[in-house]
Amino acid sequence: MGNSESTAEMHRVFNSAAEAYDQSGVEFFGPIGRRLVEFASIERGQAVLDVGCGRGAALFPAGEAVGDTGEVVGIDLAEEMVRYADADARSRGLTQVTTQVMDGQVPDFPAARFDAVVGSFSVFIWTHGAAELRPYRAILRPGGTFAASAPSFFPTSTGKWGFLPEVVHDLLLPHLTQPKDGDAYDCPFTNIHNNWLVTPEAVGKTLTEAGFVDVTVREEDLPIVVDSGAQWVAWTRSHGMRRLWDRLDEQEARELAAEVAGRLDALRSADGTITLPTPIVYMRARAPQA
Protein backbone atom coordinates (compact mmCIF):
# COMPACT_ATOMS: atom_id res chain seq x y z
CA MET A 1 0.00 0.00 0.00
CA GLY A 2 1.31 3.44 -0.85
CA ASN A 3 2.33 5.72 1.99
CA SER A 4 0.80 9.14 2.57
CA GLU A 5 3.63 10.89 0.71
CA SER A 6 3.29 8.76 -2.42
CA THR A 7 -0.49 9.16 -2.36
CA ALA A 8 -0.10 12.92 -2.16
CA GLU A 9 2.31 12.83 -5.10
CA MET A 10 -0.11 10.75 -7.20
CA HIS A 11 -2.81 13.27 -6.36
CA ARG A 12 -0.59 16.13 -7.51
CA VAL A 13 0.49 14.45 -10.74
CA PHE A 14 -2.97 13.45 -11.90
CA ASN A 15 -4.75 16.57 -10.74
CA SER A 16 -2.27 18.69 -12.70
CA ALA A 17 -2.60 16.40 -15.75
CA ALA A 18 -6.40 16.33 -15.75
CA GLU A 19 -7.10 19.14 -18.22
CA ALA A 20 -4.79 17.71 -20.90
CA TYR A 21 -5.29 14.05 -19.99
CA ASP A 22 -6.21 11.97 -23.05
CA GLN A 23 -6.82 15.19 -25.05
CA SER A 24 -3.62 15.26 -27.13
CA GLY A 25 -5.10 13.72 -30.28
CA VAL A 26 -3.14 10.50 -29.77
CA GLU A 27 -5.43 7.47 -29.60
CA PHE A 28 -4.34 5.50 -26.55
CA PHE A 29 -6.44 5.40 -23.38
CA GLY A 30 -9.73 5.20 -25.27
CA PRO A 31 -8.90 2.02 -27.21
CA ILE A 32 -7.44 0.44 -24.07
CA GLY A 33 -10.53 1.26 -22.03
CA ARG A 34 -12.86 -0.16 -24.68
CA ARG A 35 -10.76 -3.30 -24.99
CA LEU A 36 -10.69 -3.75 -21.21
CA VAL A 37 -14.49 -3.58 -20.96
CA GLU A 38 -14.75 -6.12 -23.76
CA PHE A 39 -12.10 -8.34 -22.14
CA ALA A 40 -13.96 -8.17 -18.81
CA SER A 41 -17.21 -9.29 -20.53
CA ILE A 42 -19.25 -6.55 -18.85
CA GLU A 43 -22.95 -7.31 -19.31
CA ARG A 44 -26.19 -5.39 -19.32
CA GLY A 45 -27.66 -4.79 -15.88
CA GLN A 46 -24.41 -5.28 -13.96
CA ALA A 47 -22.98 -3.07 -11.21
CA VAL A 48 -19.41 -2.06 -12.09
CA LEU A 49 -16.69 -0.12 -10.27
CA ASP A 50 -14.02 1.68 -12.33
CA VAL A 51 -10.97 2.25 -10.11
CA GLY A 52 -8.88 5.26 -11.11
CA CYS A 53 -11.42 6.24 -13.75
CA GLY A 54 -9.47 9.25 -15.04
CA ARG A 55 -11.49 11.05 -17.66
CA GLY A 56 -13.57 8.00 -18.56
CA ALA A 57 -11.63 5.73 -20.94
CA ALA A 58 -13.21 2.61 -19.43
CA LEU A 59 -15.99 4.36 -17.52
CA PHE A 60 -18.03 5.32 -20.56
CA PRO A 61 -17.71 1.99 -22.45
CA ALA A 62 -18.70 0.23 -19.23
CA GLY A 63 -21.71 2.54 -18.92
CA GLU A 64 -22.78 1.68 -22.45
CA ALA A 65 -22.29 -2.05 -21.77
CA VAL A 66 -24.45 -2.15 -18.62
CA GLY A 67 -27.19 -0.05 -20.19
CA ASP A 68 -29.87 1.84 -18.33
CA THR A 69 -30.62 -1.16 -16.09
CA GLY A 70 -27.05 -1.27 -14.77
CA GLU A 71 -24.76 0.97 -12.77
CA VAL A 72 -21.17 2.12 -13.14
CA VAL A 73 -19.34 3.98 -10.37
CA GLY A 74 -16.08 5.71 -11.24
CA ILE A 75 -13.64 6.69 -8.51
CA ASP A 76 -10.43 8.68 -8.75
CA LEU A 77 -8.06 10.29 -6.28
CA ALA A 78 -7.84 13.48 -8.34
CA GLU A 79 -10.77 15.87 -7.99
CA GLU A 80 -10.09 17.39 -11.39
CA MET A 81 -10.30 14.00 -13.11
CA VAL A 82 -13.62 13.36 -11.41
CA ARG A 83 -14.92 16.78 -12.40
CA TYR A 84 -14.16 16.22 -16.09
CA ALA A 85 -15.43 12.63 -16.06
CA ASP A 86 -18.69 13.65 -14.42
CA ALA A 87 -19.29 16.47 -16.90
CA ASP A 88 -18.58 14.16 -19.85
CA ALA A 89 -20.89 11.47 -18.46
CA ARG A 90 -23.69 14.02 -18.22
CA SER A 91 -23.04 15.29 -21.75
CA ARG A 92 -23.24 11.72 -23.06
CA GLY A 93 -26.53 11.13 -21.27
CA LEU A 94 -25.09 8.24 -19.24
CA THR A 95 -27.34 8.57 -16.22
CA GLN A 96 -26.24 5.10 -15.07
CA VAL A 97 -22.70 6.46 -14.52
CA THR A 98 -21.72 8.26 -11.33
CA THR A 99 -18.33 9.48 -10.14
CA GLN A 100 -16.78 10.34 -6.82
CA VAL A 101 -13.44 11.32 -5.35
CA MET A 102 -11.97 8.30 -3.57
CA ASP A 103 -8.55 6.73 -3.08
CA GLY A 104 -8.53 3.60 -5.23
CA GLN A 105 -6.10 1.98 -2.79
CA VAL A 106 -8.87 1.96 -0.17
CA PRO A 107 -12.20 1.48 -1.98
CA ASP A 108 -14.83 2.38 0.61
CA PHE A 109 -17.71 0.11 -0.38
CA PRO A 110 -19.56 -2.74 1.33
CA ALA A 111 -18.51 -6.31 0.71
CA ALA A 112 -20.00 -7.96 -2.40
CA ARG A 113 -21.16 -4.57 -3.78
CA PHE A 114 -20.17 -5.05 -7.45
CA ASP A 115 -20.42 -7.60 -10.23
CA ALA A 116 -17.18 -6.33 -11.76
CA VAL A 117 -14.23 -4.14 -10.81
CA VAL A 118 -12.07 -2.71 -13.60
CA GLY A 119 -8.95 -0.58 -13.59
CA SER A 120 -7.71 0.80 -16.89
CA PHE A 121 -4.06 1.90 -16.61
CA SER A 122 -4.57 2.75 -12.96
CA VAL A 123 -4.28 -0.11 -10.48
CA PHE A 124 -0.71 -0.99 -11.51
CA ILE A 125 0.51 2.42 -10.30
CA TRP A 126 0.11 1.69 -6.60
CA THR A 127 0.00 -2.12 -6.33
CA HIS A 128 3.10 -4.08 -5.41
CA GLY A 129 1.59 -7.49 -4.71
CA ALA A 130 -1.39 -9.52 -3.54
CA ALA A 131 -2.11 -7.44 -0.43
CA GLU A 132 -3.05 -4.36 -2.48
CA LEU A 133 -5.37 -6.42 -4.71
CA ARG A 134 -7.41 -8.09 -1.97
CA PRO A 135 -9.67 -5.04 -1.36
CA TYR A 136 -11.05 -5.46 -4.90
CA ARG A 137 -11.88 -9.10 -4.32
CA ALA A 138 -13.70 -8.16 -1.11
CA ILE A 139 -16.11 -5.78 -2.85
CA LEU A 140 -16.93 -8.27 -5.61
CA ARG A 141 -19.93 -10.54 -5.47
CA PRO A 142 -19.19 -14.29 -5.60
CA GLY A 143 -18.11 -15.08 -9.13
CA GLY A 144 -17.58 -11.40 -9.93
CA THR A 145 -14.87 -10.22 -12.30
CA PHE A 146 -11.72 -8.22 -11.66
CA ALA A 147 -10.02 -6.92 -14.81
CA ALA A 148 -7.19 -4.45 -15.32
CA SER A 149 -4.89 -3.13 -18.01
CA ALA A 150 -1.29 -1.99 -17.59
CA PRO A 151 1.78 -1.16 -19.63
CA SER A 152 3.69 -4.33 -20.38
CA PHE A 153 6.62 -4.94 -18.08
CA PHE A 154 7.31 -8.19 -19.91
CA PRO A 155 10.83 -8.03 -21.39
CA THR A 156 11.13 -7.87 -25.16
CA SER A 157 13.47 -10.08 -27.19
CA THR A 158 16.18 -7.48 -26.58
CA GLY A 159 15.52 -7.47 -22.83
CA LYS A 160 13.98 -4.01 -22.81
CA TRP A 161 10.64 -2.70 -21.59
CA GLY A 162 8.29 -2.69 -24.58
CA PHE A 163 6.13 0.20 -23.44
CA LEU A 164 8.89 2.63 -24.36
CA PRO A 165 9.89 2.86 -28.05
CA GLU A 166 13.15 0.94 -28.34
CA VAL A 167 15.04 3.85 -29.91
CA VAL A 168 14.45 6.02 -26.82
CA HIS A 169 14.28 3.27 -24.19
CA ASP A 170 17.73 3.86 -22.74
CA LEU A 171 17.22 7.64 -22.73
CA LEU A 172 13.99 7.56 -20.74
CA LEU A 173 14.11 4.48 -18.52
CA PRO A 174 16.58 5.91 -15.97
CA HIS A 175 14.32 8.91 -15.40
CA LEU A 176 11.37 6.58 -14.71
CA THR A 177 13.17 4.13 -12.47
CA GLN A 178 15.99 5.83 -10.61
CA PRO A 179 14.87 7.58 -7.41
CA LYS A 180 15.89 11.13 -6.72
CA ASP A 181 16.32 12.86 -3.37
CA GLY A 182 12.96 13.55 -1.78
CA ASP A 183 11.10 11.43 -4.32
CA ALA A 184 8.18 9.85 -2.47
CA TYR A 185 6.23 8.35 -5.38
CA ASP A 186 6.54 4.65 -4.55
CA CYS A 187 5.64 3.32 -8.02
CA PRO A 188 6.42 -0.14 -9.46
CA PHE A 189 8.55 1.63 -12.09
CA THR A 190 11.27 1.87 -9.43
CA ASN A 191 11.51 -1.92 -9.31
CA ILE A 192 10.82 -2.61 -12.94
CA HIS A 193 12.52 -5.99 -13.27
CA ASN A 194 11.24 -7.45 -10.00
CA ASN A 195 7.55 -6.72 -9.56
CA TRP A 196 4.33 -8.65 -9.88
CA LEU A 197 3.79 -7.49 -13.49
CA VAL A 198 7.11 -8.69 -14.93
CA THR A 199 5.84 -11.99 -16.42
CA PRO A 200 2.44 -13.60 -17.11
CA GLU A 201 3.30 -16.20 -14.48
CA ALA A 202 4.00 -13.52 -11.87
CA VAL A 203 0.69 -11.80 -12.63
CA GLY A 204 -1.20 -15.08 -12.32
CA LYS A 205 0.54 -16.03 -9.08
CA THR A 206 -0.18 -12.63 -7.51
CA LEU A 207 -3.85 -12.67 -8.44
CA THR A 208 -4.17 -16.20 -7.09
CA GLU A 209 -2.49 -15.18 -3.83
CA ALA A 210 -4.98 -12.31 -3.60
CA GLY A 211 -7.76 -14.91 -3.58
CA PHE A 212 -8.88 -14.78 -7.20
CA VAL A 213 -9.50 -17.78 -9.45
CA ASP A 214 -9.72 -18.41 -13.22
CA VAL A 215 -6.89 -16.02 -14.07
CA THR A 216 -6.28 -14.98 -17.69
CA VAL A 217 -3.36 -12.78 -18.75
CA ARG A 218 -2.91 -11.49 -22.28
CA GLU A 219 -0.42 -9.13 -23.95
CA GLU A 220 -1.65 -7.25 -27.02
CA ASP A 221 0.04 -4.61 -29.17
CA LEU A 222 -1.66 -1.24 -29.53
CA PRO A 223 -0.19 0.89 -32.33
CA ILE A 224 0.38 4.48 -31.25
CA VAL A 225 0.35 6.75 -34.31
CA VAL A 226 1.84 10.25 -34.09
CA ASP A 227 2.69 12.93 -36.65
CA SER A 228 6.09 13.66 -35.15
CA GLY A 229 8.48 12.87 -32.36
CA ALA A 230 7.49 16.17 -30.76
CA GLN A 231 3.86 15.04 -30.65
CA TRP A 232 4.88 11.84 -28.86
CA VAL A 233 6.81 13.89 -26.30
CA ALA A 234 3.81 16.19 -25.82
CA TRP A 235 1.62 13.13 -25.36
CA THR A 236 3.86 11.82 -22.57
CA ARG A 237 3.43 15.17 -20.82
CA SER A 238 -0.37 14.82 -20.94
CA HIS A 239 -0.67 11.80 -18.62
CA GLY A 240 1.16 10.08 -15.75
CA MET A 241 4.50 10.10 -17.57
CA ARG A 242 4.57 13.88 -17.07
CA ARG A 243 6.23 13.04 -13.78
CA LEU A 244 9.32 12.07 -15.78
CA TRP A 245 9.54 15.62 -17.12
CA ASP A 246 8.59 17.23 -13.80
CA ARG A 247 11.68 15.67 -12.21
CA LEU A 248 14.06 17.46 -14.61
CA ASP A 249 15.22 21.05 -14.61
CA GLU A 250 14.13 23.18 -17.55
CA GLN A 251 17.32 22.83 -19.60
CA GLU A 252 17.66 19.08 -19.00
CA ALA A 253 14.02 18.55 -19.99
CA ARG A 254 14.43 20.62 -23.15
CA GLU A 255 17.57 18.73 -24.21
CA LEU A 256 16.05 15.33 -23.47
CA ALA A 257 12.83 16.19 -25.34
CA ALA A 258 14.82 17.28 -28.40
CA GLU A 259 16.88 14.08 -28.42
CA VAL A 260 13.79 11.88 -28.00
CA ALA A 261 11.88 13.70 -30.73
CA GLY A 262 14.82 13.47 -33.12
CA ARG A 263 15.22 9.73 -32.67
CA LEU A 264 11.52 9.15 -33.19
CA ASP A 265 11.39 11.36 -36.28
CA ALA A 266 13.90 8.99 -37.88
CA LEU A 267 11.15 6.33 -37.80
CA ARG A 268 8.75 8.24 -40.09
CA SER A 269 6.98 6.12 -42.70
CA ALA A 270 6.27 7.16 -46.30
CA ASP A 271 3.07 8.94 -45.29
CA GLY A 272 4.97 11.05 -42.74
CA THR A 273 3.53 9.42 -39.61
CA ILE A 274 5.29 7.40 -36.93
CA THR A 275 3.70 4.14 -35.76
CA LEU A 276 4.89 2.68 -32.47
CA PRO A 277 3.53 -0.79 -31.59
CA THR A 278 3.01 -0.62 -27.83
CA PRO A 279 2.40 -3.78 -25.76
CA ILE A 280 -0.47 -3.63 -23.30
CA VAL A 281 -1.22 -6.29 -20.68
CA TYR A 282 -4.81 -7.25 -19.86
CA MET A 283 -5.58 -9.41 -16.86
CA ARG A 284 -8.85 -10.95 -15.74
CA ALA A 285 -9.80 -13.08 -12.75
CA ARG A 286 -12.87 -13.97 -10.72
CA ALA A 287 -13.87 -13.89 -7.10
CA PRO A 288 -14.56 -17.45 -5.89
CA GLN A 289 -18.12 -18.66 -5.84
CA ALA A 290 -19.61 -18.76 -2.33
Looking at the structure of the chain, the number of domains it has is 1
User: What are the pLDDT digits (tens) for 31-79?
Assistant: 999 999 999 999 999 999 999 999 999 999 999 999 999 999 999 999 9
Q: Is residue 16 part of a domain?
A: yes
**Cα–Cα distance, 146 to 232 (Å, whole number):** 31
Q: Is residue 237 part of a domain?
A: no
pLDDT at 209 (0 to 100): 97
- 211 and 287 Cβ atoms separated by less than 8 Å: yes
Whole-number Cα distances in Å, 63 to 79, 84, 95, 99, 258? 20, 16, 9, 12, 41
Q: Is residue 249 part of a domain?
A: no
User: What are the pLDDT digits (tens) for 131-173?
Assistant: 999 999 999 999 999 999 999 888 776 666 778 899 999 898 8
pLDDT at 147 (0 to 100): 98
- CATH number of the domain that residue 106 is part of: 3.40.50.150
| Helix-helix angle 229-236:250-265, to 10 degrees | 130
Residue span of the structural domain in which 101 resides? 4-172+182-223+279-286
Per-residue pLDDT band at 22 (split at 50, 70, 90)? confident
CB burial of residue 290 (10 Å; 0-12, 13-18, 19+): exposed
Q: Is residue 234 part of a domain?
A: no
Sheet of strand 140-151: strand arrangement: 97-101, 71-76, 47-51, 114-120, 140-151, 274-286, 213-226
Q: Is residue 253 part of a domain?
A: no
Q: Is residue 21 part of a domain?
A: yes
pLDDT at 181 (0 to 100): 55
Q: Is residue 272 part of a domain?
A: no
Amino acid at 160: K
Q: Is residue 15 part of a domain?
A: yes
pLDDT at 4 (0 to 100): 57
Mean pLDDT of 219-237: 94
Does the CA dihedral 238-29-50-88 come out positive or negative?
positive
pLDDT at 24 (0 to 100): 81
